[in-house]
């Protein structure tokens, strides 16, 4: 099998997966009586028609990408982190605490400090399931999900109690949110009239860092070895539990950083619902991106598009924005199935034989059907 | 025993061709086997034997060629189709679910026991007992697969295939994991079975080929280079045809233990996965520049011994003195750092990371050493240089150094492991079944490497079931039985018969 055929086959299967997901989604859209074609058209094209739309998609891409990168580190190391939602919330709390505590620090000190605090908060929250898995073999699926609930309650507690905006207290409206954080924390919005902020560059830089970490350093080597074959890693003298914990902490730190950036760049205060499912969508982005930074960047853009496009469907075609969550669910199912298909070498051989039988010589075109 | 399938009077394959990327695995192969015949299929690793058998089993589809059973053309789309015709295969790599018991594994394919709403395990148990009795293949139906040694797993595979009603047996190196006595028994048993069944077996052991088969076919580079009646040809004729040159396995005849002890095991007690004492007060020492062969039936503590020396298993009590320093309960990394090399039993899952490229596997133990990394960044150029050099030096047959190590053939995987371990300049090497399943060419190469290492002053503990390998290479032969060393003999006194008796648990072998 040529490498080109293999790549083509993989891309072909992924495109097929998207098509299948959209068809399944179409059934649901049709069932609720929406105009299927128009809905998809709105989701996929409407956001890209103007500057605001494009920047809003990029805005959503930032946390998705950051979280997906962290999840990739965990996944490649053999641990599945479903706790990014909670880790992000803890990261936001840590960032907010720093910003409330040191409002006078200049930007160039405060921003790194606050982002670091977010990373530490997320890492601490990721450490717990990592430690439990490494030392006691507690399933990370259970522990991360449960820790999400704990984090959500902690988050609410802080926003309604210690961190509640004093103005809310005097006004009495009681919206659970912190006060407007110091302007020294604000990430620059670099295109006038839009909300897109410098966090985008941070996220892209993180993608490069993850690529180097995982594929160019001995730490990444060890983490990937632990994830690919625990037994061989142990044989090779790799301290598997240690690298599991480290991977989980990196994963949590990335979710924490995503939270920090979201606060510093978009909301400028901690509000309930900031995490808004990014932690879960991040998993889909990571899987969709093939657990590789080069795939995650476009995948994050695609999901940013879906999320923002879904907001517009509500206005333009009257389809509820929650529809996008249904689509996400379908995409997860399709991706999991796709992975099974891709892992079946016999099927690939069959397709290859058919392909060459249908389209002639081995040397001929090597793309594959979509 | 009741029969579940129709008898197979003849099986014929005509002009089978199968291509893999860059490889012609089977090139226009035609063979025929009649009822009651035993065909031995011999050839070096990568000659296409296993591929051909996988085609017979419906695991692969041939690109060209036809398959006839009882003169009727058949097409196997999956192994189920092959089963339905009564073809059963015992693979070289066992197809067992590790976290199920022996009985449950057999029940997996045993459709008669699938009652509505319930799995009739009693029926499966009876069937296992019936087969075990009839063929003398003893297995514990309630043991979990992961607790069993490789030898025991193979027995389970044989029992499984027989339980499912196979009438045409394909055996991919059936004896590679058995003791000499078991091998003899198996051969006697297969001879007996051949009266009513047909058998194809793949083997590298020419003695078995001579003993068992009626016909022999030799494959080289995917082609049948020779076919004929076994009786007309001597072992050395067949060996010569197989490799294309005369093979003389290297022999150890250098003086022993002049450099002092390197590894001393003192009163080791170690528990197995199941919690019983796998090593019970075991003591043994190996000198520098000496090979000690450890003979024994698999499952008598060999696996635990190899693991405990390498820090992969906890020592309950006792000492492991390595160059005079106690390394008991060191972590694997610390043991490696102390200068230990290890060729593990499970070469495909433990010795390599299968999804990593060959070059990445070379730095499994050295990814943080100064040679291959600086400030934790892996020096890709240096690694590639080293990998290319090792590939050449160890004659590893792969298209390049970037192929996934798991996609290589068994012999080449073993060469990758050995290349890595030897190139790290170890002070000591633990080699477990280093040539199991390898062809004579690869085995010869590996034996030469081990002897070379020995002559450089490295101590080697060679754990093997191939008595010939042990007696050829070792200075001393130790026999392990139920976690204890039965006896240590100089290899000159270690006759096959004597070792066999010791391995069977009789301590005072000289009186017999």
Q: What is the DSSP string of A40-99?
A: HHHHHHGGGGSHHHHHHHHHHHHHHHHHHHHHHHHHHTT-----HHHHHHHHHHHHHHHH
In a domain, A325, yes or no: no
What CA–CA distance (Å, rounded) separates B60 from B66?
A: 13
Instruction: Give the mean pLDDT of A288-307.
Output: 89
Query: Quick check: B353 and A237 CB within 8 A?
Result: no
Nearest Cβ partner of A234 from B312, B360, B378?
B312
Best CA proximity match to A69, nearest among A252, A242, A199, A244: A252
Taking all residues of chain B, what is their mean pLDDT, rounded to a whole number?
A: 84
Q: CA nearest B59 in A: which residue?
A: A346
- Residue A366 has a pLDDT of 40
Question: Is the Cβ–Cβ distance between A126 and A249 less than 8 Å?
Answer: yes
Query: Quick check: A229 and B360 CB within 8 A?
Result: no
pTM over 0.90: no
Q: Is B83 left (phi over 0), alpha (psi -120 to 50) or beta?
A: alpha
Best CA proximity match to A96, nearest among A14, A176, A207, A13: A176
> Is B314's pLDDT higher than 70?
yes
| Chain B residues interacting with chain A (CB cutoff of 8 angstroms) | 20-21, 60-61, 63, 310, 312, 331-333, 335-337, 342, 344, 346, 349-356, 360, 363-365, 367-368, 373, 376-378, 380
Query: Quick check: A235 and B350 CB within 8 A?
Result: yes
Q: What percent of chain B has pLDDT over 70?
A: 89
Residues 6+ apart with CB under 8 A from B201: B38, B39, B40, B41, B169, B170, B171, B172, B173, B174, B190, B208, B212, B213
What CA–CA distance (Å, rounded) separates B12 from B14?
A: 7
The structure tokens 């090399």 sit at B341
Nearest Cβ partner of B353 from A232, A350, A353?
A232
Residues 6+ apart with CB under 8 A from B500: B179, B180, B181, B467
User: With contacts defined as CB-CB under 8 Å, which chain A residues touch B371?
Assistant: none
DSSP assignment string, B302-324: HHHHHHHHTTSS--SEEEEEETT
- Name the range with the highest mean pLDDT among A101-110, B15-24, B500-509: A101-110
Give the closest-approach CA distance of B206 to chain A in angstroms.
33
User: With contacts defined as CB-CB under 8 Å, which chain A residues touch B331?
Assistant: 237, 239
Instruction: Extract the runs of DSSP E, i.e. beta strands, from B23-63.
Output: 23-34, 38-43
Q: Please, what is the angle between helix A51-76 and helix A240-262, to 10°? A: 160
In a domain, A207, yes or no: yes
More confident residue, A185 or A357: A185
> Is A98's pLDDT higher than 60?
yes
Query: Which tokens is A103 given?
Result: 């409002």
- Residue B512 has a pLDDT of 46
- Name the range with the highest mean pLDDT among B74-88, B201-215, B353-367: B353-367
Query: Quick check: A232 and B368 CB within 8 A?
Result: no
In this prediction, residue A363 has a pLDDT band, given cuts at 50, 70 and 90, of very low
User: With contacts defined as CB-CB under 8 Å, which chain A residues touch B63?
Assistant: 353
Q: What percent of chain A has pLDDT over 90?
A: 50
Residue B333 phi, psi dihedral angles, 5° rounding: -65, -40
Q: Which of A2, A5, A7, A236 to mutate to test the interface with B (most CBs of B within 10 A)?
A: A236
- Residue A345 has a pLDDT of 62
> Is B20's pLDDT higher than 80?
no
Q: Which of B55, B310, B353, B366 to mutate to test the interface with A (most CBs of A within 10 A)?
A: B353
The range of the structural domain enclosing residue A241 comes to 56-287
Instruction: Give the mean pLDDT of A28-42.
Output: 85
In a domain, A299, yes or no: no
Q: CA nearest B331 in A: which residue?
A: A237
In a domain, A254, yes or no: yes
Burial class, B229, CB count within 10 angstroms (exposed 0-12 / middle 13-18 / buried 19+): exposed
Q: What percent of chain A has pLDDT over 70?
A: 94
Which of A350-364, B110-124, B435-449 shows the lowest per-residue confidence on average (mean pLDDT)? A350-364
In a domain, A255, yes or no: yes
> Is A368's pLDDT higher than 50?
no
Query: Which tokens is B193 given?
Result: 């079975």
> Is A125's pLDDT higher than 90?
yes
Query: Quick check: A229 and B355 CB within 8 A?
Result: yes
- Residue B376 has a pLDDT of 87
Instruction: Extract the runs of DSSP E, i.e. beta strands, from B435-507.
Output: 459-463, 476-481, 484-490
- Residue A153 has a pLDDT of 94
Give the closest-approach CA distance of B324 to chain A in angstroms.
22
Query: Quick check: B332 and A235 CB within 8 A?
Result: yes
Instruction: Extract the runs of DSSP E, i.e. beta strands, from B348-411.
Output: 373-374, 377-378
Query: Which tokens is B218 given?
Result: 């030799």
Q: Go through the domains of chain B in sequence order and give each one's CATH number.
A: 10-243 (3.40.50.300), 248-339+426-512 (3.40.50.300), 353-423 (no CATH)
| Chain A residues interacting with chain B (CB cutoff of 8 angstroms) | 1-2, 212, 216-219, 221-222, 224-225, 228-229, 231-239, 346, 349-350, 353
> Is B354's pLDDT higher than 60?
yes
Question: Is the Cβ–Cβ distance between B338 and B330 less than 8 Å?
Answer: yes
What CA–CA distance (Å, rounded) separates B231 from B235?
A: 10
Best CA proximity match to B306, nearest among B157, B430, B211: B430
What CA–CA distance (Å, rounded) separates B257 from B357?
A: 39
Give the closest-approach CA distance of A196 to chain B in angstroms.
34
Taking all residues of chain A, what is their mean pLDDT, rounded to a whole number?
A: 87
> Is B510's pLDDT higher than 70?
no
Residue B32 phi, psi dihedral angles, 5° rounding: -145, 135
pLDDT digits (tens, 9 = 90+) for B442-473: 888 899 999 999 989 899 999 987 788 888 89
> Is B229's pLDDT higher than 70?
yes
Rounded to a whole number, what is the distance in angstroms from the first to the last CA of chain B?
Answer: 38
Query: Which tokens is B305 given?
Result: 């011994």
- Residue B180 has a pLDDT of 65
pLDDT digits (tens, 9 = 90+) for A65-90: 999 999 999 999 999 999 999 999 99
In a domain, A84, yes or no: yes
Residues 6+ apart with CB under 8 A from B413: B347, B348, B351, B352, B405, B406
In a domain, A260, yes or no: yes
Strands B340-343, B428-432: parallel, antiparallel or unpaired by DSSP? Answer: parallel
In this prediction, residue B481 has a pLDDT band, given cuts at 50, 70 and 90, of confident
User: With contacts defined as CB-CB under 8 Å, which chain A residues touch B353?
Assistant: 225, 228-229, 232-233, 236
Q: CA nearest A2 in B: which residue?
A: B21
- Name the range with the highest mean pLDDT among A140-144, A276-280, B402-406, B442-446: A140-144
Strands B64-69, B72-73: parallel, antiparallel or unpaired by DSSP? Answer: antiparallel
SS3 state at B167:
coil
Residue B469 phi, psi dihedral angles, 5° rounding: -60, -45
Question: Is the Cβ–Cβ distance between B88 and B168 less than 8 Å?
Answer: yes
- Residue A370 has a pLDDT of 34
> Is A2's pLDDT higher than 50?
yes
Instruction: Give the mean pLDDT of A177-190.
Output: 88
- Residue A94 has a pLDDT of 96
Query: Quick check: B378 and A224 CB within 8 A?
Result: no
- Residue A369 has a pLDDT of 37
Rounded to a whole number, what is the distance in angstroms from the first to the last CA of chain A?
Answer: 19
Length of chain A: 370
Give the closest-approach CA distance of B509 to chain A in angstroms.
37
> Is A10's pLDDT higher than 80?
no
> Is A222's pLDDT higher than 80?
yes
SS3 state at A274:
coil
User: With contacts defined as CB-CB under 8 Å, which chain B residues touch A219?
Assistant: 376
> Is A159's pLDDT higher than 50?
yes
Give the closest-approach CA distance of B385 to chain A in angstroms.
16
Instruction: Give the mean pLDDT of B170-187.
Output: 74
In this prediction, residue A115 has a pLDDT band, given cuts at 50, 70 and 90, of very high
In a domain, A95, yes or no: yes
- Residue A101 has a pLDDT of 93
pLDDT digits (tens, 9 = 90+) for B364-398: 999 888 888 888 899 989 999 999 999 999 888 88
- Residue B178 has a pLDDT of 65
Give me the numbers of helices (H) and strands (E) for chain B, helices first please.
Answer: 16, 24
CA dihedral B225, B180, B485, B274 (to 10 degrees): 90
- Residue B1 has a pLDDT of 44
Q: How many domains does chain A have?
A: 1
SS3 state at B172:
strand
User: With contacts defined as CB-CB under 8 Å, which chain B residues touch A228?
Assistant: 353-356
More confident residue, A341 or B458: B458
User: With contacts defined as CB-CB under 8 Å, which chain A residues touch B364?
Assistant: 225, 232-233, 235-236
More confident residue, B253 or B186: B186
- Residue A315 has a pLDDT of 81
């Amino acid at each position: 099998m040529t490498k080109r055929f293999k790549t083509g086959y993989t891309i072909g299967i992924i495109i097929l997966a998207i098509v299948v997901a959209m068809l399944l989604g179409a059934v649901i859209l049709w069932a609720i009586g929406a105009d299927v074609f128009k809905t998809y058209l709105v989701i996929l094209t409407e956001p890209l028609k103007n500057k605001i739309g494009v920047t809003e998609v990029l805005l959503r891409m930032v946390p998705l990408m950051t979280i997906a990168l962290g999840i990739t580190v965990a996944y490649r190391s053999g641990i599945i982190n479903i706790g990014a939602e909670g880790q992000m919330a803890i990261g936001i709390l840590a960032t907010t605490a720093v910003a409330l505590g040191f409002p006078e620090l200049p930007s160039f000190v405060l921003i790194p400090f606050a982002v670091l605090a977010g990373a530490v908060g997320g890492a601490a929250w990721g450490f717990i399931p990592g430690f439990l898995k490494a030392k006691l073999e507690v399933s990370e699926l259970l522990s991360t999900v449960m820790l999400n609930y704990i984090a959500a309650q902690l988050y609410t507690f802080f926003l309604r109690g210690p961190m509640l905006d004093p103005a809310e207290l005097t006004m009495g409206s009681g919206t659970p949110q912190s006060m407007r954080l110091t302007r020294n924390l604000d990430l620059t919005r670099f295109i006038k009239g839009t909300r897109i902020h410098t966090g985008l560059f941070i996220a892209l830089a993180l993608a490069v860092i993850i690529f180097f970490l995982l594929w160019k350093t001995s730490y990444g080597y060890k983490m990937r070895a632990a994830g690919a074959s625990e037994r061989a890693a142990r044989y090779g003298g790799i301290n598997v539990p240690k690298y599991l914990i480290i991977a989980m902490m990196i994963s949590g730190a990335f979710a924490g950083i995503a939270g920090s950036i979201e606060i510093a760049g978009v909301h400028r205060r901690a509000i309930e619902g900031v995490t808004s499912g990014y932690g879960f969508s991040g998993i889909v982005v990571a899987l969709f991106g093939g657990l590789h930074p080069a795939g995650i960047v476009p995948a994050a853009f695609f999901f940013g598009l879906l999320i923002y496009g879904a907001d517009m469907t509500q206005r333009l075609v009257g389809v509820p924005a929650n529809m996008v969550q249904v689509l996400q669910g379908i995409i997860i199912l399709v991706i999991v199935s796709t992975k099974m298909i891709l892992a079946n070498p016999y099927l690939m051989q069959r397709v290859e034989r058919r392909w060459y039988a249908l389209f002639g010589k081995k040397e001929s075109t090597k793309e594959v059907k979509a | 025993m009741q029969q579940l399938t129709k008898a197979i009077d003849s099986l014929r394959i005509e002009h089978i061709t199968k291509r893999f990327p860059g490889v012609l695995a089977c090139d226009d192969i035609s063979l025929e086997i009649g009822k009651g015949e035993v065909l031995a299929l011999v050839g070096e690793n990568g000659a296409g034997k296993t591929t051909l058998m996988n085609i017979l089993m419906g695991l692969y589809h041939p690109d060209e060629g036809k398959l006839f059973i009882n003169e009727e053309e058949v097409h196997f789309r999956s192994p189920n189709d092959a089963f339905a015709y009564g073809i059963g295969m015992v693979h070289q790599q066992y197809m067992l679910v590790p976290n199920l018991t022996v009985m449950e594994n057999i029940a997996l394919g045993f459709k008669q026991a699938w009652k509505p709403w319930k799995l009739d395990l009693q029926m499966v148990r009876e069937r296992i007992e019936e087969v075990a009795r009839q063929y003398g293949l003893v297995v514990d139906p309630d043991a979990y697969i992961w607790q069993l040694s490789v030898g025991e797993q193979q027995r389970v595979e044989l029992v499984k295939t027989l339980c499912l009603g196979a009438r045409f047996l394909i055996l991919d190196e059936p004896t590679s994991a058995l003791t000499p006595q078991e091998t003899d028994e198996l051969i006697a048993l297969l001879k007996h079975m051949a009266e009513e069944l047909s058998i194809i077996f793949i083997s590298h052991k020419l003695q078995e080929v001579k003993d068992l088969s009626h016909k022999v076919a030799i494959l080289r580079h995917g082609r049948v280079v020779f076919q004929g009646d076994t009786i007309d040809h001597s072992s050395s004729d067949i060996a010569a045809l197989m490799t294309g040159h005369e093979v003389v396995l290297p022999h150890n005849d250098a003086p022993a233990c002049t450099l002092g002890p390197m590894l001393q095991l003192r009163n080791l007690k170690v528990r197995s996965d199941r919690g019983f004492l796998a090593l019970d007060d075991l003591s043994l020492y190996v000198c520098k520049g000496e090979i000690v062969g450890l003979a024994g039936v698999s499952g008598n503590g060999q696996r635990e011994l190899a693991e405990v020396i390498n820090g992969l298993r906890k020592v309950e009590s006792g000492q492991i003195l390595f160059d005079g320093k106690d390394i008991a309960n060191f972590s694997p990394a610390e043991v490696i750092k102390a200068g230990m090399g290890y060729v593990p039993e499970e070469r495909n899952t433990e010795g390599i990371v299968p999804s990593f490229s060959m070059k990445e596997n070379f730095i499994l133990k050295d990814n943080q050493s100064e040679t291959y990394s600086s400030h934790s960044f892996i020096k890709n150029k240096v690694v590639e240089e080293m990998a290319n050099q090792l590939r050449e030096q160890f004659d590893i047959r792969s298209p390049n150094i970037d192929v996934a190590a798991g996609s290589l053939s068994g012999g080449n995987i073993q060469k990758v492991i050995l290349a890595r371990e030897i190139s790290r300049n170890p002070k000591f090497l633990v080699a477990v079944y280093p040539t199991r399943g390898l062809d004579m060419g690869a085995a010869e190469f590996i034996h030469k490497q081990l002897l070379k290492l020995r002559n450089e002053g490295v101590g080697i503990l060679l754990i093997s079931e191939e008595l010939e390998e042990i007696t050829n290479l070792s200075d001393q032969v130790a026999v392990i039985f139920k976690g204890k060393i039965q006896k240590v003999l100089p290899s000159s006194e270690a006759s096959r018969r004597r070792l066999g008796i010791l391995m069977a648990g009789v301590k005072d072998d000289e009186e017999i």
